[in-house]
Amino acid sequence: MALALAAPVFSQDMGSIAFINDLAAKKEASYGDAVRLFAQTAGRRSAGFKADHQFLLDQKIAWTNSYAEAEPLRRGTLALMTARYLKLDDSLMFSILKIRRYAVAACAANGIMPPDGGEWDVLSGAELIEVMGIISAKVEGE
């Protein structure tokens, strides 16, 4: 199931397949997991956390160096990365205040995340894969 959701996003090399399968089983995804998936979604072959994170900083998807690779991934962090990547400025509050809370609302309004999630919720690996699959589908649909 997880591989089917991720198929449009990731190359089919054995490293990516193993990563997706391992991620799908995680109860808590990490910031490093999100960085790797965003880098791949943005068309980059993963080169490790530091290089991938620098790429996301350069692309204005990530915005700070204050997150540790192993830090649990929170919905607000993923939503802000998503809103920056997809340029979700159709939400009035997010277009004014580009913060996690309003990024979550913008992602919910665009069908990327459920409307009942809070910005501090820790996401599972399966939830991260699902969101990245939706992002990939939206990018391909444009």
- The residue extents of the domains of the chain are 2-141
Measure the CA–CA gap between 79 and 101, rounded to whole angstroms: 9
The whole-model pTM stands at 0.86
- Mean predicted confidence (pLDDT) in 92-102: 82
Closest to 122 in 3D by CA, of 34, 37, 28: 28
Amino acid at 17: I
Residue 109 has pLDDT above 60, yes or no: yes
**DSSP letters along 8-45, please?**
TTS--SHHHHHHHHHHHT-SS-BHHHHHHHHHHHTT--
Give the model's pLDDT for residue 13: 55
Per-residue pLDDT band at 26 (split at 50, 70, 90) = very high
Per-residue pLDDT band at 99 (split at 50, 70, 90) = confident
Give the model's pLDDT for residue 91: 75
